[in-house]
Copies of this chain bind each other. A is one copy, B any other.
Amino acid sequence: MNSLQTVEPALDEACCAPSGQPVLSAEDARRKALVFKALSDPNRLRLLSIVKSGGSGEACVCDLTEPLDLGQPTVSHHLKILVDAGLLHREKRGTWAYYSIVPGALEQAAGLLASL
């Protein structure tokens, strides 16, 4: 229960703002920046791309380590950041952990730019 859920709750306050004068509060800015920070690493973008492009819509860590040419701990670390940002969903089945894109998360992240 430590995920930041930065995408979800961001809407609660953004959808009602006049999006005009009050600019962006320091707090809102901090929250939105967390999402973009998660997207600001090339390897994390590729992780999202691989997970998204996979036919099943999900991928396990072992499938992600090789194409990125990174160590397993590093991939695990990047995945955690994406999960904390609310972009990826993690489901453990047996020994494997399957990651999938949170439905609508990318669209919501894109929406953050429109509501600047």
Contact = CB atoms under 8 A, between A and B. Distances in A.
Query: How would you classify the secondary structure of chain A's contact residues: helix, strand, loop or mixed?
Result: helix
- Give chain A's interface residue range (CB within 8 Å of chain B): 20 to 34
Interface of A: 19-21, 23-24, 26, 29-30, 32-33, 36-37, 39-46, 48-50, 52-53, 67, 106-107, 109-111, 113-114, 116
B116 A49 contact: yes
Given A106-B116, A109-B113, A110-B114, A33 B23 contact: no
User: How many subunits of this chain does the assembly comprise?
Assistant: 2
Contacts of A45: 24, 29, 32-33, 36, 116
Contacts of A23: 46, 49-50, 53, 67
